[in-house]
Structure 1
Amino acid sequence: MSEDVTPDPYADPLRFGQRTQILRERRGMTQAQLADLVGISPHTLRKIENGQQKSPGLDMVMRIAEALRVRDLADLTGRLDARVDLFVGPGHPRLGAVKAAVDSFPLTSNVDPPPIAHLEARLHAAWRERHASRNHREAIGRLLPDLIRDAQALVRHADSAAERRRAQALLAETYSLSQFFIAYQPDSSLLWRVAERGMVAAQESEDPHTIGVASWLLAQAHRDSGQRHFDAADAVNREAVGFLNPLLPDAGDDVLAIAGALEFELGYTAARRRETGTAWRHWEKAREMAERLPPDYFHPVTSFSRAVMGAHAVTVAVELHQGGESVRQAARADQSVIKSRPRRARHRIEEARGYQLDNQPDTALASLEKAFEAAPETIRYNGYARVILLEEVESTRAPRRRRAADLAARIGILAA
């Protein structure tokens, strides 16, 4: 191999430190940035990468895997017997049918479009089922192929500009629902197609709320692609916030809620960057917007509401690696009830991350058990939950090890 060719950590038998360096550089991260994210000094990380210090223990391996968004633990460790997907869950049985519906663009079709009101009612029912179901991907995956087909047909057969805009809004909403199904599954290109098509349809609709929702989802797709895409996530968020702000004095609840959700997303990305003041400032502004909503209001897409702000505070503290603060925020958040099962499960996972940061692994496992009870499919596809469980199945304490192994088996991550 030529000396100027970067080794491929997926093909060459490299040591742990070399793999860490290559994967870090591919993420566009400096040693100082990665060291800060995992809680060690740049000097220590340099010694790990140079092979001057032996490979770290499982806890540090997991932290590095989380910071680098490594999908398969074997890519970092080089151990082919340790293949475990971390941030991408197993492909859902209905993924193929959803993908086929997304990718299908028939130039001629004998599909008669449903009445607009009929499709609106079906989408409303689909969102309601998503929030109420323990296995929400199964619930909406069953509905999506027909919804996608009919929404596309509505756009094709629209008879007027006004009808076309309404149809585009429904198509954008259908793509939004699709993105919740596709997220964290092994087809990132499909996720991007859905996010971008949703944004195009939203812009064609000219509806502020629809544009806000599509922006919220597109920004998340950028942010979850890694640190190099944080600027793109912020750009989408800021553009949408700037678009909606002039409308807020007279806005209805849905527009106000999506503006608040976008405001929080700016704080979430800032927390990922470890920008403490900026993160909490955006959270506070989002909280003020939530207080303008009715007490029982719940946004059907983003879950934005008064009740969810406590869960958002836990997320900010966790991303800032403030273990004690995340535990305090978790205690406050428990005073509110989040209506959505998958959003409740997501909150319990964030809570577990906080307890893990605060060196309370047994309480972290209890939170993951609550997440599983609320929505098994949420925890099954969540990389952070997998990291915690894989760490605790190696615990030196037998009761904790058994408890973690039992939950991991029920989720399905130890089957391989």
Structure 2
Amino acid sequence: MNERNSPPANAPFGDRLRHYRDRLGMTRPVLGGLVGRSPDWVKDVEGGRLQQPRLPMLQRLAHVLNVGLDDLVGGPVPIASYTKGAHGSLSSVTDALTDYPIDTGDITPLTSAELAGRASAAWQLWHGSARQRTAVAVVLPDLIRQGRLAARLHDGRERRAAHRELARIYHLVQLYLAFQPVPEMVLLAGDRAMTAAQDSDDPHAIAVAAWYMNHIFRNSGERDAARIDLSQRAMKLLDPERGGEDLARWGLLQLACALSHAKSGREGDALRHWDEAHRAARGLGRAYAHPWLVFGTSMVDAYAVTIQADLTHGGTASRLADRLDLDALPSATRRSFHLTESARAYLMRREPVAAVALLRQAETASPETLKFSPWARSAILELSETGTPATRRDAAALRSSLGLEAA
């Protein structure tokens, strides 16, 4: 954490909370809405009239403010259950990511077509498995090495095609690493994906790399202008009038801008870009879903819930959630993610029964997606300790099945 962006080491919790809220330019009503509390609650916590919240709420505040728990409270948080978990194969993937092929004298690289086939198969594992991290962790280490070798050892058109596939591999690595305690590795994967996409000279690859870099910037909370500018510059490489891949990627980048604006509270800009994304998705056909990006009307409609929730419109978000047809999404991890976002919308309206029911559906769709969601982890822990006996029981069962028991 940059010291200029940190409060004094001995600052009380209320001052630290106000510091990080002010750093994002976030008002008390916005922060309160995002964590399911009133503006007066935020004011009382910042003023020291209320004590430091319990750990589930701390986790939610830290997530919204894009700051570590230790930074928020001014010291170590000893209970691991409330922090990001690590997948069992994390070290094998990060080892492959940070390895460098040097001695390549006797190696025959995969052709770009062979590499594309393996990359597509890995993406099918990601979307088709309920435990997608476990599934892709089996193939990712070797896929990373094969992709880097092909991009290094081929020449000309074949080299550029290998770089295009290597970018796709790095996108999958980024998704695998997301919400685990290795933020530097997520940034490395994103940066390498963009570099590979640029080396491919393929506008389609560059556009997708911009989409995934937008996720990194949005989660960091400190590069608001950069993430929107990158998406808009990448859009200029595409011609949506051509339809097909150009239109899908153009719509994806419009969606990236919408999500970024919503995260910053700029409602008009967020809805304007969402409308463009929705128009692009409709232009591809109601039943269309991109083979590995999953862009289409179902995905755009589902992200409308996230946008409204980020804008603190819990009522609108929950009404949109009620109309979603997530069965049309050909991805277990996306279904689980959007069910979790629907639960977030209902919890903003203080409807824990609906929220828990949606979280249980999210677990059914993909327990690993739910387990690695920072918001879901904190919400489940809080719901297991508060609310009605029924919601506490169901949330406690989720907490146990996801391995979130407090130490």
Would the TM-score normalized by the shorter structure come out above 0.5? yes
Secondary structure at the counterpart of residue 243 of structure 1 = coil
2-side partners of 1:121 and 1:60: how far apart? Answer: 44
Tell me the residue number matched to 1:287. Answer: 278
2-side partners of 1:358 and 1:56: how far apart? Answer: 23
Deviation at 1:223, TM superposition (A): 0.8
Tell me the residue number matched to 1:412. Answer: 403
Residues 269-292 of structure 1 show CA distances to partners (whole Å, capped at 9, x for unaligned) of 111111122111111110110011
Residues 365-409 of structure 1 show CA distances to partners (whole Å, capped at 9, x for unaligned) of 010111100111100100111121122112142221111111011
Deviation at 1:359, TM superposition (A): 1.8
Tell me the residue number matched to 1:194. Answer: 189
Secondary structure at the counterpart of residue 289 of structure 2 = coil
**With structure 2 as the length reference, what TM-score do the two structures score?**
0.90
| 1:304 to 1:380, Cα distance in 2 relative to 1, 3 A | same
Tell me the residue number matched to 2:207. Answer: 212
1:55-74 superposed matches below 5 A: 55=51, 58=54, 61=58, 63-72=60-69
**With structure 1 as the length reference, what TM-score do the two structures score?**
0.88
Tell me the residue number matched to 2:349. Answer: 358
Letter in 1 for 2:359: L
| 1:164 to 1:34, Cα distance in 2 relative to 1, 3 A | farther
Instruction: Give 2:301's match in structure 1, choosing from 310, 313, 321.
Output: 310
Residues 111-152 of structure 1 show CA distances to partners (whole Å, capped at 9, x for unaligned) of 321122211111111111111101001111111111111111
Do the aligned residues in 2 keep the contact of 1:74 with 1:81 (CA within 8 Å)?
no
2-side partners of 1:97 and 1:256: how far apart? Answer: 36
Deviates most, 61-70 or 307-316: 61-70
Tell me the residue number matched to 1:119. Answer: 115
2-side partners of 1:111 and 1:97: how far apart? Answer: 22
| 1:403 to 1:386, Cα distance in 2 relative to 1, 3 A | same
Do the aligned residues in 2 keep the contact of 1:72 with 1:84 (CA within 8 Å)?
no
Do the aligned residues in 1 keep the contact of 2:240 with 2:246 (CA within 8 Å)?
yes
1:269-348 superposed matches below 5 A: 269-334=260-325, 337-348=328-339
2-side partners of 1:324 and 1:180: how far apart? Answer: 30
Tell me the residue number matched to 2:157. Answer: 162
Aligned length: 397
Tell me the residue number matched to 2:177. Answer: 182
Tell me the residue number matched to 1:248. Answer: 240
Deviates most, 172-181 or 106-115: 106-115
Do the aligned residues in 1 keep the contact of 2:336 with 2:361 (CA within 8 Å)?
yes
Does residue 1:229 correspond to 2:223, yes or no?
A: yes
1-side partners of 2:376 and 2:160: how far apart? Answer: 41
Tell me the residue number matched to 2:394. Answer: 403
1-side partners of 2:246 and 2:282: how far apart? Answer: 14
| 1:325 to 1:340, Cα distance in 2 relative to 1, 3 A | same
Deviates most, 329-338 or 167-176: 329-338
1-side partners of 2:278 and 2:148: how far apart? Answer: 37
Residues 148-203 of structure 1 show CA distances to partners (whole Å, capped at 9, x for unaligned) of 111111112113x2111111111111111111111111111111111111101101
Do the aligned residues in 2 keep the contact of 1:223 with 1:269 (CA within 8 Å)?
yes
2-side partners of 1:296 and 1:43: how far apart? Answer: 45
Residues 40-76 of structure 1 show CA distances to partners (whole Å, capped at 9, x for unaligned) of 787864553343x122655865653332234437953
2-side partners of 1:47 and 1:331: how far apart? Answer: 34
Structure 2, unaligned stretches of length 5 or more?
Answer: 1-5
| 1:80 to 1:289, Cα distance in 2 relative to 1, 3 A | closer
Deviation at 1:19, TM superposition (A): 3.6
1:254-273 superposed matches below 5 A: 254-273=245-264
Q: Using CA pairs under 8 Å that are at least 6 residues apart, name the structure with larger relative contact order, 1 or 2.
A: 2
Instruction: Give 1:48's match in structure 2, choosing from 20, 32, 45.
Output: 45
Letter in 2 for 1:231: A
| 1:23 to 1:85, Cα distance in 2 relative to 1, 3 A | farther
Instruction: Give 2:358's match in structure 1, choosing from 346, 367, 370.
Output: 367
**Aligned sequence identity (%):** 33
Does residue 1:393 correspond to 2:367, yes or no?
A: no
Tell me the residue number matched to 2:132. Answer: 136
